[in-house]
Structure 1
Amino acid sequence: MSDPWLLLAALIVEACIGYPQSIYRAIRHPVVWIGIGIEVLERHLNRPELGDETRRWFGIVTVVVIAGSAAAVGYAVQALAGNISFGMALIVLIATSGLAQHSLYTHVRAVLNPLAEGDLVTARRAVSEIVGRDTASLSESGVAGAALESLAESFNDGIVAPAFWLFVGGLPGLFAYKALNTADSLIGHREPRWRMFGWAAARFDDVVNLIPARLAGALLAIAGGGGLVVMWRDAPKHASPNAGWPEAAMAGALRIRLGGPTAYDGVMHERPIFGAGASPTVEDLKRGLRIYVFACGLLWLTAALAGFVVSEWHAI
């Protein structure tokens, strides 16, 4: 188990500085390198001529290799940092690369600003950077809803879940989680090409997000002053065992309706509806972003309380 104070420090530092572009230009982002590794293995092990069971097993091997390698790198970095005078500071700085409070706020704000000014074209372009659905014909409400759904789901995937695994397993836990989450994003799909090969990536991602997704939903509902009932009622509607919790919580906190039919690559997909209110507006997106900031603060508070509990426990 990692030090809760280390987690709190990483959350605060990342919220302030994010992942600097100068560092990204120099060495890219760790998730980029993880993605390259996954794509190389997928290209060699997910060949069409292989049978379904073989491809499923190769998918399992891919996930184990990627997550295991990431955890090994995290362990090595943590061990090396422990032998130098500023080791804890170095661990905090490296841990910030697995968190996304700053970038998520920035991306959603980039949707909100033009939308509030009536510039729907720019808002559609900005929201296309954070969602996978078709955005060219989205209405103002559609753009606001897409941004809110991405904000809620990414609050778990990019913040609560990595923070949880950093707390549970230090840098090895954080890096392994990011590897699993990236694998799910790249190959954990239901299309024929990935259905068998990506099976393990999707299942592992489901498991590691079980606790964090529910925690993320609870934090959003508390931050919004409501939404727990809607979350509990509507979250199981989602095909994913986890994605519905933060999205339903956001819908309940804002007293609006999220989800519903959406087009992906020109094909309409039926999705569950969360909440029972009106369609989202620009004002709802503004309030959703405030709820997100407050929820991040509650996560900081949770880390601080855990730090006090651990300190008292060690003092006994």
Structure 2
Amino acid sequence: MPADPWIVLAAAGLEGVLGYPARLHRLVPHPVAWIGAALRRLEALNRGGDIPRRLAGVFVLLLVAGTAALAGWLIGRLVDGWALILTIAAGSLGLAARSLYAHVAAVSRALNTPINLPAARAAVGMIVGRDTADLDEAGVSAAALESLAESFNDGVVAPLFWFLLGGLAGLFAYKAVNTADSLIGHREEPWRCFGWAAARADDLMNLIPARIAGALIALVAGRGWRTMLRDAGRHASPNSGWPEAAMAGALGVQLGGPASYDGAPHARPTFGEGPRPSPLDLRRGLGLYLRACAVLAAALAVGGLAWPR
């Protein structure tokens, strides 16, 4: 069932102000950690031949996403008198606008004068999967910008989209699918068959939001549309290329390119035609991110005004 845009906006505002405090996380781990723990326990089903492992992966995805959706539905239906408050509080748990900004801003601060490259590498290593020990300023800036663009979709636009479309059940189902894709949706063994369902479901659930995310970045920048439309399809993912290419075009820089993962070099496509990004470009990217979040908030407010009462 669709959610009232005012409720979604309230949840987004709560997350933007408070996030999920580290002290609270130490006492009560974030629900995404619960999903991760469940997936790690269910990894025991990843055995046998290709077909049994693929079927096991489908079962695991349905179990985890279905349980998450049921939890969201119950919060909104079975808690008399507290449903609105709990919906807003629980909805904030599915969003990551504040934490994303904080992680990328930490990289940016380390690249400010005086530059602390080891600290910048450590900070960007918290949000990317590639090897960071040998990255220079441009490499760190590019990695942070790529993560910012992609996570703008995964942590902000897509959760808001599914919250609006399906209420807490839709939001929680999306977070479960996205977490499953991050943990088991890999092409390499031993995940290729077991994680197939998680990867395909995540692709499907991000199909529309990723394009919205890319459009928002280009909109607030007033440029980047041509680069996004031209380069988005170069990405191995059907979705990640949209916000990344939009960010490259919006800043007039080149993102992507070769990277190393676990010591193994990987050839990756490039997005954009400009120079490699600088620390200044990273700060500009953070500004675009904040403006895009503001546009989303304004759109939710307009939706709230038009929502039938």
TM-score normalised to structure 1 length:
0.95
C-alpha distance after superposition, 1:109-161 (max 9, x if no partner): 11000111311010000000000000000000000000000000000000100
Distance 2:21 2:122 in 1: 23
Q: How many residues align?
A: 307
CA distance in 1 between counterparts of 2:304 and 2:242 reads: 26
What SS does the aligned partner of 2:61 have? helix
Q: Quote the Cα distance in structure 2 between the aligned partners of 1:280 and 1:190.
A: 29
Equivalent in the alignment of 1:97: 93
**TM-superposed deviation, 1:13:** 1.4
- Displacement after TM superposition at 1:173 (Å): 0.5
CA distance in 1, matches of 2:269, 2:88: 39
Counterpart CA distance in 2 for 1:25 and 1:235 is 39
Distance 1:193 1:109 in 2: 35
Corresponding residue to 1:158 among 155, 158, 183: 155
**Secondary structure in structure 2 of the residue aligned to 1:194:** coil
Structure 1 stretches of 4+ with a deviation exceeding 3 A read: none
Counterparts in 2 of 1:226-245, with a 5 A limit?
226-245=223-242
Question: Structure 1 CA distance, aligned partners of 2:259 and 2:18?
Answer: 34
- Residue 106 in structure 1 maps to residue 106 in structure 2: no
3-state SS in 2 of match to 1:70: helix
Q: Which residue of 2 is the match for residue 61 of structure 1?
A: 59
SS of 2:239's partner is: coil
Note if 1:225 corresponds to 2:222: yes
Shift of 1:77: 1.2
Q: Which runs of 5+ in 1 are unaligned?
A: none
- The 2-side partners of 1:127 and 1:230 are apart by 25
Counterpart-to-counterpart distance in 2, 1:23 and 1:122: 26
Instruction: Give per-residue Cα distances to partners, 1:190-239, cap 9 Å, x unaligned.
Output: 11100000000000000000010000111111111211111111001111
Matches within 5 A, 1:1-316: 1-42=2-43, 44-47=44-47, 50-81=48-79, 83-84=80-81, 86-117=82-113, 118-311=115-308
Cα distance, 1:38 vs structure 2:
0.8
| Aligned-residue offset at 1:175 | 0.5
Provide the C-alpha distance between the structure 2 equivalents of 1:222 and 1:111, rounded to a whole number of angstroms. 25
Equivalent-residue separation in structure 2 for 1:134 and 1:22 (angstroms) = 29
CA–CA distance in structure 1, aligned partners of residues 302 and 216 of structure 2: 15
Separation of aligned partners in 2, 1:204 and 1:90: 27
Partners of 2:75 and 2:86 within 8 A in 1? no
In the aligned structure 1, how far is the partner of 2:122 from the partner of 2:192?
30
Aligned-residue RMSD, C-alpha? 0.9
Partner SS, residue 186 of structure 2: coil
Letter in 2 for 1:262: A
Structure 2 CA distance, aligned partners of 1:87 and 1:196? 40
**DSSP 3-state at the match of 1:263:** strand
CA distance, structure 2, for counterparts of residue 129 and residue 121 of structure 1: 13
Instruction: Quote the offset at 1:76 in angstroms.
Output: 0.9
Distance 1:26 1:125 in 2: 25
- Read off the aligned partner of 2:128 and give its amino acid letter: V
Cα distance in 1 between the residues matched to 2:111 and 2:195: 36
Quote the Cα distance in structure 2 between the aligned partners of 1:129 and 1:21: 15
Displacement of 1:79 in angstroms is: 1.1
Q: Equivalents in 2 of 1:51, 1:233: separation in Å?
A: 40
Q: Give the residue type in structure 1 aligned to 2:201.
A: F
1:131 aligned counterpart, secondary structure: coil
Secondary structure at 1:268's aligned position in 2?
Answer: strand
Q: Contact conserved, 2:254 with 2:276, CA < 8 A, in 1?
A: yes
CA distance in 2, matches of 1:222, 1:46: 43
